[in-house]
């Protein structure tokens, strides 16, 4: 059975190969369930013109599509860098059991990525963030939440 290091080396090799292809930045990730890779991803931000196409998100999407599920409970992710706040949220939403990472947010910041700044920003209250935010139509939007909560046939996730 492959080791944690084997799966991380696979993610690192994937990041190097796809970066070399000019498909995106230097990041790769694999989702593993029961000792098998069920999803691979690499940074496709520039290749797909999609700022959300980070390696972890791409790997999670691939694993969910392959398995036909929206929950990856029982799976883990190996990623070449500590997940940014968006990717970390995706890991939580996917219900992955564990994250293994190689580089840190500080390592990514050292080569020009916003990881450290974004980690700092999301920890702040909305009024304190660099990005201006304003709440609108809370009552109208809240009514939709209440309708969903009252639906006995809703699919929980």
Name the token pair of 58: 């791409």
Are the C-beta atoms of 54 and 87 separated by less than 8 Å? yes
CA 85 to CA 145: how far, in whole Å? 25
Q: Catalytic: which of 5, 36, 40, 56?
A: 56
Q: Is 134 a residue of the active site? A: no
Q: Which residues are catalytic?
A: 56
């Amino acid at each position: 059975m492959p080791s944690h290091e084997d799966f991380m080396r696979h993610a690192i090799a994937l990041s190097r190969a796809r970066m070399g292809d000019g498909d995106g930045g230097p990041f790769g990730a694999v989702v593993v369930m029961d000792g098998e890779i069920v999803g691979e991803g690499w940074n496709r931000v520039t290749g797909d013109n999609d700022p959300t196409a980070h390696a972890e998100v791409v790997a999670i999407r691939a694993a969910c599509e392959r398995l036909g599920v929206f929950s990856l409970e029982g799976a883990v992710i190996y990623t070449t860098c500590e997940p940014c706040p968006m990717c970390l949220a995706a890991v939580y939403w996917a219900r992955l059991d564990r994250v293994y990472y190689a580089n840190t947010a500080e390592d990514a910041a050292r080569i020009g990525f916003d990881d450290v700044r974004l980690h700092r920003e999301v920890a702040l209250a909305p009024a304190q963030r660099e990005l201006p935010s304003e709440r609108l139509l809370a009552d109208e939007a809240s009514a939709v939440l209440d309708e969903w909560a009252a639906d006995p046939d809703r699919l929980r996730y």
